[in-house]
Amino acid sequence: MELNKQTIEQLHKQLIEKKIKPSDILDSVYKRVESVDSKVKAYLMLTKDLAYDMAKKAGDRIMKNDNVTDLTGIPIGIKDNMCLEGFNTTCASKMLEGYKPPYTATALKNLIEAGAIFTGKLNMDEYAFGSSTENSAYQTTCNPWDLSRVPGGSSGGSAAAVAADMCVAALGSDTGGSIKQPAGLCNVTGLRPTYGRVSRYGLIAFGSSLDQIGPMTKTVKDNAILLKYLAGIDKKDSTSAPIDVPDYDSNLRKDIKGMVIGLPKEYMIDGMDKQVKAKIMEAVKLLEANGATIQEISLPYTDYALDVYYVVAPAEASSNLARFDGVQYGLRDTSADNLIDMYKKSRRAGFGKETKRRIMLGTYVLSSGYYDAYYKKAQKVRTLIKNDFDKAFEKVDVILTPTSPTTAFKIGEKAADPLTMYLSDIFTIAPNMAGLPGISVPAGFDAAGLPIGMQVLAAPFAEQKIYDLTNFYQTKTDWHEKRANL
């Protein structure tokens, strides 16, 4: 099998046995990019010189057997909202075209230390606003399983790149479902960690109380390996948790006997694709047959999650994006003849439609006279949503749901209707509001051959339970091994 198609686990074994070199994997990855990315359009930029330089360093480490980790020599793609010193970091926005940050995000630093290789910057919805990657100012990424369909979003570039073997793994970021939803639509394994598990330092902020960087991989095992290096407390992020990082991959359980899986009745909504539901129930049966206990649970505040999210996240975003004003960096309209005019013209030219929509929404809900009715109330309901989950996790180990109500939709299908678009994150948003970790793993295909994702959630910092269950599931199924024909 070509190297680019293999897992971190498989490649690591060959690397330390010195059967292959990091540059061999990189050759294979870039060859693949060359042949298919003109169709998929996942990469915004390749960092070839940097990558080969990193590959050489990784190769030296392996030759000298000096500080070799699971990730040494492994090519990883990065969503374009994580700062990498000296390299374009655009958030897929015209506003940040050509912007090169003078520092590197902690998550990326952790990977550099582990000896990983960065293949390039991956496409996304502008500032991570979206569920289809259509909101990128530069290009629309296509779903490798059907190029006329979206890969999901906002980490659509990352999901598509992993699905099309244009990297061995990728980093995404998730605010309302931006890792899990595209992972589900592209047949990839994507985990959104507990809020505070991975440092946000250097991740260009969208919703500061929700954002998390997470791994997008070909298997659960790879995911566990990658998270182990990403996670941990960071002095530069005061919201990162002072909780030890378990050795997720070595700790993986061999069975799931006695695990209690909760099925929330509120998630069986109208408008859910029957085939999606059928595949999820199939997975539930398989898990039950292997010793797990299934329990129906109730999360009564689920209905409010979407509304609450679209108050809190845009509010934070409107403030976070205010810094893009044309003063210090980024796009500046030089035709303006006074300060206010410069702000207006620069922001009008630099931001896309959905970005403007969210900024307006967020500005509105924070405005004097509306703050109590919207933002403050939303925060209260957010607490109630969290309480729902806390109660549920007193009884169950994990909660299982579909990742999205439908499979991948057509490019352009929902672009004109933001409300329908927002609904595609309905299952991922509630747990995110509660800060919970959650994964999406491949759970089969619909009749049209489009992937279906299964979401598994756990209590805060119980990523291990998620990995235990879904890794076991992957030992019993081969959905995750399926590849699109490109």
- Among all residues, which ones are annotated catalytic? 79, 154, 178
**Residue with tokens 């409010």, as numbered in its chain:** 304
What is the smallest separation between the CB atom of 242 and another protein, expressed in angstroms?
11
Q: Closest distance between another protein and the C-beta of residue 424, in Å?
A: 25
| Binding of residue 328 to another protein (CB under 8 A) | yes
Provide the β-strand partners of residue 440: 190, 455
Tell the smallest beta-carbon distance from residue 86 to another protein (Å). Answer: 13
Name the segment binding another protein (CB under 8 A); options: 148-156, 184-192, 301-309, 322-330. 322-330
Q: Minimum CB separation from another protein for residue 209, in Å?
A: 4
Q: Where are the alpha helices (DSSP H) in 321-433?
A: 339-350, 353-366, 377-392, 418-423, 426-433
The two three-digit tokens of residue 271, written as one number: 């408008």
Total residues at the site for another protein (CB under 8 A)? Answer: 45
Binding mask 94-133 for another protein (x = CB under 8 A): --x--x-xxx-x----------------------------
Q: What is the CA radius of gyration of the chain?
A: 21
Run of H or E including 264: strand 260-264
Tell which one of 83, 122, 163, 166 touches another protein (CB under 8 A). 83
Q: Would you state the structure tokens that stand for residue 169, as one six-digit string?
A: 């793994």
432 binds another protein (CB under 8 A): no
Burial class (CB in 10 A: 0-12, 13-18, 19+), 2: exposed
* Rounded Cα gap, residues 289 and 462, in angstroms: 23
Decide whether 271 or 369 has the Cβ nearer to another protein: 369
- Burial annotation 447-458 (CB, 10 A radius, 16+ → b, else e): eeebbbbbbbbb
Q: Which of 138, 134, 128 is nearest to 44 (CA)?
A: 138
Q: What is the DSSP secondary structure assignment for residue 340, as one 8-state letter?
A: H
383 part of the interface to another protein, by CB under 8 A:
no
Map residues 203-242 to x or -, x wherever contact with another protein holds by CB under 8 A. xxx-xxx-------------------------xxxxx---
Q: Which two tokens stand for residue 302?
A: 């689920």
To the nearest whole angstrom, how small is the minimum distance from the Cβ of residue 434 to another protein?
Answer: 15
Residues within the interface to another protein (CB under 8 A): 81-83, 89, 91, 96, 99, 101-103, 105, 200-205, 207-209, 235-239, 315-316, 318-319, 322-325, 327-329, 338-339, 343, 363, 366-368, 371, 375
